[in-house]
Structure 1
Amino acid sequence: MTSRLFTRAELAEAFAQFERTVAGAAETRNWDPWVDQYTEDVEYIEHAAGTMRGREQVRPWIWKTMESFPGSYMTAFPALWTVIDEPTGRVICELDNPMRDPGDGTIISATNISIVTYAGDGLWRRQEDIYNPLRFVSAAMKWCKKAGELGTLPDEAAAWMRDMKGGR
């Protein structure tokens, strides 16, 4: 639990700003504003990557993740639903991670559950992303196969696909 209680309205507005910031980062591919909405000592738990402590551990991870395939082909991260838990200062949500159109209008995505804990003053002190990494691998592989069929598979995605098949 957080030591300070926040109103539902404050948590809702803070999360709406969080979503606007994330949408802007996805649009501009500048991940610094996303990271800057966390406290300096943020705890970021990412089940496949581990636990990062502090913005300066999160920053290189998010840049590397989102600027290499398949993250580099994810276009947005909208919340499909949210739950605001006032006593803990948390917002729990399901985030969609759609990938760009492979060339025929197909939308391929995977989702994750995120739990963000508010610190106040527009900053978040903790985030935990919960998901099955195999669903993300499956979605990216499906995207690669579709792009391959359409003749739109970029070299970066083809290399990722080869690496993933070699790891089986």
Structure 2
Amino acid sequence: MTATVFTRDELAAAFQTFEQDVAEAARTQDWDAWVEHYTDDVLYIEHAAGTMRGRDEVRTWIRRTMSVFPGSYMTAFPSLWTVYDEATGRVICELDNPMRDPGDGTIISATNISIVTYAGDGKWSRQEDVYNPLRFVAAASKWCRKAQELGTLDDEAAAWYEKFGARR
């Protein structure tokens, strides 16, 4: 719970700016502007990767995650739906994680629920990402199979697929 009650308009405006910077980070692969939306002492709970404390830990994690397959093949993170909870200062949303076109226009993605807690002044003090990691493995595997079928599977994705996604 937050001691300050933020209005729906303030939560929505802060989250819209946050989403715009996430979209730009996904486009450019420069995650710094996104990380700057967090407080210095942010608590980020990512159920598959663990708990991070502070912007520096979040920055290190996101750079590492988004620089290799399958993260590096995700092109955007748009919210499919959003709930603003003024009483707790939280925004709860379902985020889509579409991967780049494997070569025939196919859209392959997985979703997660994110819960972010607003601290005011455009900063978020907590984020929790909730999802089933196996759905992300399934989506990345499906992408690899499709790219393999189309002849567009590169070495990085092929190595991941061999190690994590290919059925043995």
Same fold (TM over 0.5): yes
How many angstroms apart in 2 are the aligned matches of 1:162 and 1:56? 32
Unaligned regions of 5+ residues in structure 2, if any? none
Distance 1:165 1:93 in 2: 28
Q: Percent identity?
A: 74
In the alignment, structure 1 residue 21 sits paired with structure 2 residue 21: yes
Q: Could you give the per-residue CA deviations for residues 46-80 of structure 1, whole angstroms, max 9, x where no partner exists? A: 00011100001111100010110000000000000
- What is aligned with 1:126? 126
CA distance in 1, matches of 2:161, 2:8: 44
Runs of 4 or more above 3 Å deviation: 165-168
Distance in 2, Cα, partners of 1:165 & 1:39: 36
The equivalent of 2:2 in structure 1 is: 2
Q: Is the Cα contact below 8 Å between 2:78 and 2:95 reproduced in 1? A: yes
- The match for 2:31 is 31
Tell me the secondary structure at the aligned position of residue 87 of structure 2: helix
Is the 2:141–2:165 Cα contact (8 Å) retained in structure 1?
A: no
SS at match of 1:88: coil
Q: Which residue of 1 aligns with 2:79?
A: 79
Q: Provide the residue aligned with 2:41 in structure 1.
A: 41
> How many residues matched?
168
Q: What's 1:91 paired with?
A: 91
RMSD: 1.2
Residues of 2 paired with 1:146 and 1:166: CA distance?
A: 12
TM-score between both structures, scaled by the size of structure 1: 0.98
**What's the offset of the Cα at 1:35?**
0.8
Unaligned runs of 5+ residues in structure 1 are: none
Task: Indicate how the Cα distance of structure 1 residues 129 and 151 shifts in structure 2: closer, same or farther if over 3 A, else same.
Answer: same
5 Å-filtered alignment, 1:111-150, equals 111-150=111-150
Deviation at 1:166, TM superposition (A): 7.6
CA distance in 1, matches of 2:167, 2:114: 28
Q: CA deviation at 1:3?
A: 1.0
Structure 1 residue 165 displacement after superposition: 4.7
